[in-house]
């Protein structure tokens, strides 16, 4: 009965009711993470701050996000951007356009990735596979998987792509539900 009451109360909660918590409104552990993010980035991104509603969620997520991977930074950003595009997350599209430029992509290359393609054959295979994994909940086509391997990627890379998709999907879902303000230049619709 209690779970039903809790569910009924949550049913009435709208995304517009999510506000970004301030440093003073989060746990001591999260306050320290906010301080570290401020030092490293100059601010605490609103979506990270929103994760801090969970006493352990922000540390757990940042540890996962920053774990070593076989993908290079450009590959990670390509996956992040196409997954955010497929999941229609304007927050993450906006953030990863900025991060993509910081990692050497041009505006044209970033637009191509958002459209699910790249003029670089290896990156194209990665983008197509990441989009397919996201769109089809992990049931990617044999053709896209074969092309991924034909471009020199390995089974280790495949596992890391899936983990990167899951990382970004979690953030996409968080923003798509909470709709906290985007604190990056807004990605234009394509």
Does residue 80 share a domain with residue 115? yes
- Which pLDDT belongs to residue 18? 87
- Which pLDDT belongs to residue 31? 98
Does residue 86 share a domain with residue 59? no
CATH number of the domain enclosing 83:
1.20.1290.10
How many of the other CB atoms lie within 10 Å of CB of 9?
A: 9
Does residue 125 share a domain with residue 102? yes
Q: Which residues in the chain land under pLDDT 70? A: 1-16
* 145-166 residue pLDDT tens: 999 999 999 999 999 999 999 9
Domain tally, the chain = 2
Q: Which domain holds residue 136?
A: 73-178
The C-alpha atoms of residue 84 and residue 49 are separated, in whole angstroms, by 19
**34 found inside a domain:** yes
- Which pLDDT belongs to residue 13? 52
Does this model's pTM top 0.85? My answer is yes
For residues 117 and 124, is the Cβ–Cβ distance under 8 A?
yes
Last residue of a domain, one of 65, 97, 117: 65
Does residue 129 share a domain with residue 61? no
* 67-90 residue pLDDT tens: 999 999 999 999 999 999 999 999
Does residue 80 share a domain with residue 59? no
């Amino acid at each position: 009965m209690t779970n039903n009451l809790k569910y009924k109360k949550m049913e009435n909660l709208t995304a517009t009711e999510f506000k970004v918590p301030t440093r003073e409104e989060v746990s001591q552990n999260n306050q320290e993470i906010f301080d570290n993010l401020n030092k490293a980035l100059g601010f605490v991104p609103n979506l990270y701050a929103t994760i801090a509603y969970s006493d352990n969620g922000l540390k757990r997520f940042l540890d996962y996000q920053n774990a070593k991977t076989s993908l290079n930074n450009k590959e990670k950003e390509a996956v992040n951007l196409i997954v955010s595009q497929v999941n229609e997350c304007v927050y993450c599209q906006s953030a990863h356009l900025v991060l993509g430029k910081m990692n050497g992509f041009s505006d044209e290359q970033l637009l191509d990735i958002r459209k699910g393609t790249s003029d670089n054959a290896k990156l194209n295979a990665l983008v197509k596979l990441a989009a397919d994994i996201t769109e089809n909940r992990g049931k990617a086509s044999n053709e896209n998987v074969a092309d991924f391997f034909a471009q020199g990627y390995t089974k280790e890379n495949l596992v890391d792509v899936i983990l990167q998709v899951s990382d970004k999907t979690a953030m996409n879902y968080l923003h798509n539900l909470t709709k906290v303000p985007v604190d990056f230049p807004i990605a234009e619709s394509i």
